[in-house]
Structure 1
Amino acid sequence: MSQITIGIDIAKLKFDVARLAEGKYKHAKFANIAEGFAEFVAWLCDFGDTDQRLCMEATGAYGVPLAEFLVEQGYLVSVVNPAQIHAFGKSELSRAKTDKADAKLIARYALQASMTAWKPLPTNIRVLQALTRRVEHLLEMQRMERNRLETADSTITSSINTVLSILDAELKATRQAIHDHIDHDPDLKRQSDLLMSIPGIGSATITYLLVALSSHHGYTNAKQVVAQAGLAPAIAQSGQWQGKTRIAKTGDARLRKALYLPALVAWRHNPVIRCQCERLKANGKNGKLIACAAMRKLIHLAFAILKSGKPFDPTFSLA
């Protein structure tokens, strides 16, 4: 029996699906709400399939409710990096760009890919992620209002200051909610205390690391986390030509951003990372490359510390 794959292209208000079996497609679209989820499952049941794989892109908040619903119904669902689908489309010289065509593309990708079953975030990690992203949004709104204040007419400065006061209060409340959430969860509290022992890592960065290094991801080594963060080196070399080595950037941009300033602090105050950075500097490496290396080292340290359950030890040498 041939493998049956279902490609799902997610949008805000609806999602397109393409069922691929024996080289033929069946297409449908449903509303991206609970009723649409139920209609989609009924549509799948009409085929009477027992062996099928459902694949969708990681599209953030728009796709998570559907993925969670499908997992609860017992379906094998893979949520893959959109960059992988895009690269697969380029390998096919795909030209069409519609929701229907994208669903078919995802179904074809699922047919040849080695996919892993997606698992929803544990409740405690999902709450922490939501609170952390809320802080990001509040900081962005605060920055925008402060920029407006610099050139604002005097008639609206009072209004802007009022909004800034509200944002400041909400930031404090949300950060306190993060602190309380971690403090009241024994496992998160234990991991947080371990991460806090790393020089250069502060409470703001710890929240990102707790989400990124959650055991639910199933990482077996730190290199996988580095790749997921988009910090793995992308080497450019062909024959005699040697291009610049950059980071891949195909991963968690939030984690990269959260690690940048801590990496600079660790460069000065973390003995393990300072030694590495000074060695790279002596070899003529530029500051940006050194900072990226420090970010990777922080991930390695955090992964090793959480895995071992032991706090930072400057004499510990990573393999």
Structure 2
Amino acid sequence: MTCNVGVDISKAKLDVAWLKADGKYRSKVFPNNAAGFSELLQWLDANLPDGHAAAHVCMEATGTYHEGLAFFLHDHAVAVSVVNPLTVKRFMELDRVRNKTDDGDAKALARFCDKTAPDLWEAPSPGVRSLQALVARLDTLLELRQGELNRLEVAHGSVKPSLIAIIASLGEAIEQVRMQIRKTIDDDPDLRQRNELLATIPGLGDRTIPQLLAYIGRPERFTSVKALSAYASLTPMIRQSGSSLDKRRGTHPQGHRELKKALYFPAMVAGRYNPVVAEFWQRLKAQNKPGKLIVVACMHKLLSIAFGVLRSGKPFDPNHGKKARA
């Protein structure tokens, strides 16, 4: 028998609620760290009829806070679902939940798991996990170096030697991480193959391709390009009702913001050098679409091309769509 367990995750703690067969709950709070993960696993073994093997744990995607627990449970053969917070919010509204507490949210997640049987979370491979960590580290180092470069422009002469030394040190660290990224991709046959496929797409370069490999992971986990676009928060946010409400607020805030950010400059480059994206760009421009809308649309187009190349296993072909229409 499957035991539905909801976990509300914050930076410091895990509020856990098991929905029992009689409709009542058993709850407990654990620290959100390695020791807490082990305590949670022991608690599942001690309380669930068939131990942790019977558990279906449901949690919301909460930035990076949920990742440690999700990886831990997956590695210990516990069924895990990581769900969109907006979906759970809508469920709680339909369930007429009036008060918001961490314990209440954990119980709502357990009910959500019981009623909807959400898809199981697919953990990235060890190679992708390493790549995700390295890509995040590279972004941090680049931001730190840019900050020091900005400070160097206005710095007093007495502190310039210190800034120059730090910038040089950061430059060495950046190059080292870039070498680790290349090695991680080269050492993993699957990542290496996907890297070679993405490299055939004009507009994608050495910076963006590792980001796409890290953020997308295995492309088969997305059922369609629409699902990937939603994951990348590239779907439009529209609020429309009757004649009094008609608002379009750009892209939806829910989703993987880093993936969306990674596509911005490549889409602008692709708008010049990728024949498919460039044609699309000019068509939108001829329709007098705003510049920002054109860039976002081309980000979506570039992501769609990348998804198609990865799913098909075939290099980029600028005439693919034309052949299909012929």
- Same fold, TM-score > 0.5, yes or no: yes
1: CA distance between counterparts of 2:131 and 2:270? 25
State the AA in 1 paired with 2:247: G
Corresponding residue of 2:44 = 44
Matching of residue 255 in structure 1 with residue 259 in structure 2: yes
Distance 1:157 1:88, change over 3 A: farther
Partner SS state of residue 243, structure 1 = strand
1:312, CA displacement in angstroms? 1.4
1:82, CA displacement in angstroms? 3.0
2: CA distance between counterparts of 1:33 and 1:307? 36
Corresponding residue of 1:274 = 278
Matching of residue 192 in structure 1 with residue 176 in structure 2: no
> Which segment drifts farther, 218-227 or 67-76?
67-76
Corresponding residue of 1:28 = 28
2: CA distance between counterparts of 1:100 and 1:147? 45
Matches within 5 A, 1:92-107: 94=97, 96-107=99-110
TM-score by length of 1: 0.89
1:247, CA displacement in angstroms? 1.7
TM-score by length of 2: 0.87
2: CA distance between counterparts of 1:65 and 1:107? 20
2: CA distance between counterparts of 1:83 and 1:140? 30
1: CA distance between counterparts of 2:35 and 2:248? 51
Q: Is the 8 A contact 2:219 2:310 kept in 1?
A: no
Partner SS state of residue 236, structure 1 = strand
1: CA distance between counterparts of 2:107 and 2:177? 41
State the AA in 2 paired with 1:43: W
Q: Is the 8 A contact 1:212 1:225 kept in 2?
A: no
1:96, CA displacement in angstroms? 4.1
1: CA distance between counterparts of 2:204 and 2:297? 15
1: CA distance between counterparts of 2:249 and 2:143? 31
Corresponding residue of 1:8 = 7
Q: Is the 8 A contact 1:213 1:303 kept in 2?
A: no
Matches within 5 A, 1:1-319: 4-21=3-20, 22-50=22-50, 52-89=55-92, 94=97, 96-215=99-218, 218-240=221-243, 242-244=246-248, 246-317=250-321
2: CA distance between counterparts of 1:242 and 1:32? 42
2: CA distance between counterparts of 1:23 and 1:223? 37
**1:45-65 CA-partner distances (Å, limit 9, x unpaired):** 333335542111223443323
1:206, CA displacement in angstroms? 0.6
Over the residues paired in the alignment, what is the CA RMSD in angstroms? 2.5
Aligned-pair identity in percent equals: 42
Distance 1:69 1:244, change over 3 A: closer
1:165, CA displacement in angstroms? 1.1
2: CA distance between counterparts of 1:75 and 1:187? 25
Count how many residue pairs are aligned between Structure 1 and Structure 2.
318
1:8, CA displacement in angstroms? 1.0
State the AA in 1 paired with 2:187: H
Q: Is the 8 A contact 1:119 1:216 kept in 2?
A: no
1: CA distance between counterparts of 2:192 and 2:159? 44
> Which segment drifts farther, 65-74 or 219-228?
65-74
Distance 1:23 1:218, change over 3 A: same
2: CA distance between counterparts of 1:38 and 1:191? 35
1: CA distance between counterparts of 2:255 and 2:226? 13
Q: Is the 8 A contact 2:3 2:48 kept in 1?
A: no
2: CA distance between counterparts of 1:202 and 1:265? 10
